[in-house]
Amino acid sequence: MILIHCPYCDEKRPELEFTYAGEAHIARPADPSTLSDEEWERYLFIRANPKGRHNERWRHSFGCGRFFNAVRDTVTDKFETTYKAGEPRK
């Protein structure tokens, strides 16, 4: 089982305590009514889905309950780092 470091609890805990929450740093449109169909498609559906380094969101559901971001390699599933929500992309 993967061990994940929660940046809020500052502890490495088993994957079972966490919920994956998709790609990170996808900002909700500031002014939704002005968006074109292409921009909606990109926001809602298009994903990077990289083979390699992936910035993603996780939630420590069965711990502190907070969302944070992580960098994980999608080939080895190894976590490079985790950081608090709101911090710049690593």
13 binds another protein (CB under 8 A): no
Query: How far apart are CB 43 and another protein at their closest, in Å?
Result: 11
Phi and psi of 65, rounded to 5°? 80, 10
> CB-hemisphere CA count at 13 Å for 89?
9
Residues 6+ positions from 8 with CB-CB distance below 8 Å: 60, 64, 66, 68, 84
1 binds another protein (CB under 8 A): yes
76 binds another protein (CB under 8 A): yes
Q: Which residues bind another protein (CB under 8 A)?
A: 1-2, 15-16, 19-20, 22-23, 37-38, 40-42, 44-51, 54, 56, 72, 74-77
